[in-house]
Structure 1
Amino acid sequence: MKTKISTLLLLPFFALLMVTSCQEEVVDITPPADSEALSATSPLTASMSSVSKMDGSKDNIIDNASCLSIELPVTVVVKGLEIIIDSEEDYKVIEAIFKEFDDDNDSLEFIFPITIITAEHDDIVINNAAELKEFVDECRGENEDDDDIECIDFKYPISFSVYDVNFQVVDVITVENDKQLYRFLKRVKNSDFLASLNFPVTMVLADGTEIVVNNNQELENTIDDAKDACDEDDDNDYGDDDFTKERLDEYLQICPWVVHEFKRNNQDNTVGYKEYALNFKEDGVVRMRARNGDILTGTWSTRVTKRGALLKLEFDTLADFTLEWVVYDIEYGKIKLYETGGNRIIMKKNCDVVIDITKERIEDYLKECLWRVARLQVEGTTNSEKDYIGTPLKFFENNLVKIRLNGEFVSGEYEIGVTNSGFFLQIFLVDRPNLKLEWSITFLEPGLIKLENENNKMVLKKHCADDDINYIDDVLITWEWEVALYKEGDEDKTENYFMYTIDFLDDGWVKVTDPNNGIIDGNWLAYRNDGLYLGMHYGIEPPFEALNHRWKIAKITQEEAGTKARVELKDLNANGEIERILILEKKE
């Protein structure tokens, strides 16, 4: 019997488990302190309401009003052309028509009736231009301060506990979108009931960054810090191609930009240029890193004309990029460039990309933590990485590399080399022919290395333990376990694992004892990858070969009075649907 683990205070982890657990599970909710209850007049209630208001700036090119939007589809007439706008992408068609001529009046007419959506999420039918003008006139002018907060959003769903006057829970309300949140808060402000937000809650900034908050004060501070941290784009144009030259130059130089789409002369060259990275320097020099590590140097400059903002790129040895591009659209963390004749580039900001790679930098990077084989494609076959579940690599000084197998590190060698085509990584490990290859380093950023050669591809992801991982490790190591449930779809196969004992050891070895005291050896690793996972590999021994998988951790609980320690694992398909369920419980 193992020693019982000491109590660990890891609230963020338990919060994560609450978010990822099934909706039908019962959640115990403690009545909040007065400071956590939402007040009708509190600044937090007002801020949350402002965040949940409808942002009407996306369609300003057709309605010239940031406090309302036109419900789609809608039919408009532009320069004699009748156009049906089905989606936000069609706003670009309107912009292209407006920009076709520089000295005419950019206006359009609606085919009425239309429906507008107000900042308060109300739908109102408008029958003529005069009615529409009344609502537009009530909006504030271009780029004037308004009440809505657009630089931060809630990540839905979120939930509220509703209380009676004695602070007894009478209901739990789930909110799925801004409209529902705004109307819920409106009832709070009308003092219809008492409510508190159930934490943790994830907030999403304009650039996609997510922030987890755990109480009212953190939420209020987070909203306050973010509310003026972006351009709300409350002007009457589509996108941000109305940047000044100074703002555009500053934006380009913030971080490296990675190519995600590329078309030249109507030829789609995305495959050839995807993940090329550009770094714009303040002296007009742009350095480009190709996938093979080559660094190309060119020049860049910008200017603003009646066509909009233009970005000129010039490379001596890269004609495809050498062009003066129109800055077609700027979103948070994304730039779209185009030029007539079928030319288009989409780049995304990535501050973690390393442009100037050196052999020493790669070596230092590899030594930071363990590395797990996240993806391996050998000779066209997929899912070869399954053989490396729970077997991370560790790179040391003096070209020493080790792979952890059944709790022991098996030693080998590695080498970082340089060729005319870039940097390569060569690994020498006994009985691991799939790794014993020369791999070109095609992409390098914190936490991720992409490698490939003529017929093979591999992705290594960095594994550094954090508090949540340490907690999972401690729970698993503390007890011996048994399979309490194993289901494949609707088929219950739990009986196949009757009388087996699973023992997770702290060196990454998992030992299974069968009813006849036979031993099955395996490997395990708890890690983070857009969530928490437990990778297990038991070789080809039945029935445990069916459990060789990277399982998503849905819930993990420590032993409490009257409750067994328990680990709930799920296997999800590409659509996020549950295909298999595995539940481990502490063995008595």
Structure 2
Amino acid sequence: MKNRIHFAVYTFLLGMTLLFTACQSEFEELPEDNQQQTLEANSSTAVLIERTATNDGSFDNIVDQASCLAIQFPYEVNVNGEIIIIESREDLQEIENIFDASDIDDDFLELVFPITITTAAYAEIVINSKEALRELAADCIEDGKDDDIECIDFVYPLTLFTFDRTLQQTSRVTVENDRQLRFFFKELGEDELASFSFPISLKLYDGTVIEVNSNEQLARLIEEANDACDEDDDNDYNDDDFTQERLNEYLVECPWLVHEMVRDQVNQTDQYFEYLMNFTEDGKVVVKDRVGNNLVGTWTTRVSDNNRVLLKLEFDVLVDFNLEWFVYEIGEGTIKLFSEGGNKIIMKRFCDAPNPGETLRNILKECAWVIKKVKNQGEEIERLLGYEFNFHAEGYVTLSNGVNVSEGEWEVTTNNEGVLVLAIAMGAEPAVNFEWPVRDLMNERLKFEVEDIGYELILQRVCEDNAGDGDVMDIRELMKDGPWSVASFVKSNIDEAELFSLYSFSFEAEHVMGMTLGDTGNTEAGLWRVLRNSEGKLKVYLNGGENEPLHELTDDWDFYSADAGRIELRSESDANGQISILVFERI
């Protein structure tokens, strides 16, 4: 009787083993509910496990541009002329930081060979040249179309058992990482079976940990996670993984300031800098320009066929924003948008949205403001070039050329049309008495304008007299070491230096320019300034007053060059593009 029972049990186990083998023989077929918890090396579930445990080389694509290869640490790279030692994944961020320092630069990166790479199957190969690396990289399948499954990972350690065909346990193995797990299944013989010690845990791309208790659950979970995220198998090293849902939530959390804008390869940052974008959950986006005007549009997001998140903006007025933008990066407080054809928007999160009027009041009081241009009824008032406004508390304002000071009152308010204006009342200087409507509100430059009647005021911010700018200070010290004569004054391609042949010039404290006629003649007081403007250019403001020929020197000159005894300044005419040249030589 016992023999019959033993024979029956053996027959049952053998039958189940054969049934299991038959069910597992089809590639990519998911296990059925009644299958055993053992696996064959070539079963569909085992293949899914190997794909999940494949070595992912996409994390260093910024260096090798190959998702199926990973360079072993440490190694050296030349990034824009700077040698960096890469000793960990974290060090790769330093490369990205150098590239991101200027998004317009033509960046370059060169590996220092030899290097050792690890393949997707964990083979190690020494590479001695760029050509050899490119040859290997050419075999990689990019854009997430390779066999590597990256959106889910095993949580280690794992315990596995091996069995022979009679289901007798032959070994117990503990694996600590993907490499060991992949090798375990690769080395599993044709006559061997394997089984996990369930339950085991896996972690999804979003950090969710899921416990599974069977091969069936394991296979289904891996299959479902296969295309659940952007595997980053491309060379867009900046497109940090995120979901459409995360982007949607991030956009509506706070307003966003436009930090950089390029459209059709033309840099439009000056035009749109610090425009404030408010995204709302109902699909509207309200953009507030620098003077407080609201421009309304719509926004939508979608996921492309290759799992890229796209943001579509549509406006009636802001046509430069009208594109479906590829969301290239979500960083801490930053979103970068790109589109083909040289289009880019970089936005900075700004949770404390400003009131334009309060913003203008604050920045006016923070620093001095130098007049770059003032026009009344279409006529430019050149005698005020370089004069300095100081806006004080309690509505008190001064205007000075370093010698004379005018006093008045100021207020930020709105006019009858609801437009934000800077109202200045200064009886001693009627050219600035006006309600100046704000047209361009930037931290470093302010523009006020009524175009219809030819009124315009442009102010340049100067904090602490640019004392922290080494270039500005060097030029000032050189100019103070005079006196100087005009060696060349080219205007309309004619050198008119003879106009100033009898004059000597000294650049003195408090921005006073001394202009002396002859050895013993009268000295007239003009104005001079050296500063760096909102575009980062070094400028030399000269104001020779209203008398000829000294008035001809009045301009906001570009600093061109200097040595111990010579200073060259240049200015481009707005009207015809001609270049004027002014050269001082030390006497």
TM-score of the aligned structures, taking structure 1 as reference length: 0.48
User: Which structure ranks higher in relative contact order (CA pairs < 8 Å, sequence separation ≥ 6)?
Assistant: 1
TM-score of the aligned structures, taking structure 2 as reference length: 0.48
